[in-house]
Structure 1
């Protein structure tokens, strides 16, 4: 119907390495696939198990086609999956978490409803140039959440989506400039930590 639509082969097999590898070997033979995805992860298994499955499957994925990790994830998950050979992602995390007051910053994860932000005049992230950070304080956004005003969630979603887009830009730049290892060392753990700022 849509001649420009692309079709991805989706690797499955739970956390069984042998099944995952065998399945990838089979679907990579489907020449009509435009790319390949790893599905069925980030559904409750420990993060290290997810990383292990990516490491086991990746060597069997075609090198000349995009690699997609479905339903992932946190900023740290994205950095670690790129390190293991994944090209792109999708996830509800930035918007869903934002609607509940959890914000991603370059200093770690912030829970904007915490009392410590009640009178804080600073933006969510002083290193962020999103419209929310340019125009609103932590105190104001916290007030919106505490007042159950929907604008709080909208501003938080705007920030998180901007953060994720910026994260992907920084990852691409680091890869292009041959400094991804340095980027990973600087941000992988930091972005998973609690923001102390």
Structure 2
């Protein structure tokens, strides 16, 4: 996670924030951020999301990337995996400065993602490729099966989960990028 730490440091300095200021915004200690920036520890999914929100960037910003190409090859996707959460993300779009971001989300059975409020409004669309999911949008619970899709205001997403015993694969499009 050295690359992640370096990217966090670079973005923090671009914004002129101290470790303490960023920590306050993200809900973590300055010491934690220092160890993270120096590659000594790895963040959880929720912590990385909180830091990304505090720095006003999508989580994928922290991954090393080459110059964008129009084609994103299956074996060359930027990935974020968090074994403790049973959820993994793969970026399907080549650059983060675009108006839209598409992500392949893989959720193992029993995996659940509780989403914190995002820093800016966005629109989101999810399509279930395989598996079965439960999604909470503004207190409304929906069950989606393979082939189902849902469109919603991203700020109203509360959580989603893989239900059943089969892995869940979702394509999620976000406008503007905010994951």
**Larger-Rg structure:** 1
TM-score under structure 1 length normalisation: 0.27
TM-score under structure 2 length normalisation: 0.29
**Higher percent of residues as helix:** 1
**Higher percent of residues as strand:** 2
